Amino acid sequence: MTAEKAQVILAFDLDGPTGDAMVNGGIWERPGYFALGAYGPHRAVPRILDILRGHGVSATFFTPAWVVRTWPDLCRRVLEEGHKMAGYGDIHEMFHGRTVEDQRGILQRSQDTFQQILGQRALGFRAPSGDLAPETPALLVETGYTYSSSMRSGDRPYLRTDVPLHEIPAKSLFDDDSAFAYHRYPNFPSGLDRVAPYSPVFETWLGEIDAAAEESLTVSTIWHPKVMGTPRSGGPHGRVHW
């Protein structure tokens, strides 16, 4: 791989236990599901930060405001160690299908949280599940965001034509959730292996990055600390799956 041509963006979705179950309130009756999500900020992120520091690499953490409020010291550490904190909704809400008022409220609450706890507003945003509503880009600009990494629409960053918002597209191929996450409920995929072997997935990712480097393209990951941040054998700075 020709490093000077490759643009690899290490992006982590630090969603913790947020998501549909928190949106509908069911998570408060499912301590196992909550603990599975909380593993990310509680155990995995400190390990990931140590590895990033060991390699001198920076990353972006797309983080719901609820996680910032719940683990403020961890999120401050992310910034202190030279990484970026970006928006990911308040409790990982899907934006598609919501009213303009609901979307604006979510984005503003998130920015208020970032300002109050981290001392700065978020510049970047990633839509949970990549589901932007038609009005969302304009609302992002209105609430202070300058870029989004929500679309799966290409392999180069671009400036939108409707609003002054840069888009850094990611690929579902680089979503670790689809390869490594263990889903107990719903039982998906039913009747199939639920966790892929690690080596073939890594080889696929590396091959995709090599191909992107040959064409001077951009690769952005969709990695979740609760999925990627578990231990494995390796060198002193390599004890996670990736």
The structure tokens listed for 74 are 């961890």
Phi, psi of 27 (to 5 degrees): -65, -25
Enumerate the β-bridge partners of residue 137: none
Each residue of 120-146: pLDDT tens digit? Answer: 999 999 998 888 999 999 999 999 999
Domain at 7-228, CATH class: alpha beta
Contact (CB, 8 A) for 14 and 88:
yes
pTM of the complete model: 0.89
- Averaged pLDDT, groups of 10, the chain, 242 residues long: 68 92 83 86 96 96 97 98 97 93 97 98 94 95 98 88 96 89 60 73 93 92 92 55 54
User: Tokens in use for 82?
Assistant: 């030279």
Cα distances from 150 to residues 58, 134, 168, in angstroms, run 20, 13, 7
CA 31 – CA 125 distance, rounded (Å) = 29
Report residue 186: phi and psi, to 5°.
Answer: -75, 160
Q: Is there a contact between 200 and 180 (Cβ–Cβ < 8 Å)?
A: no
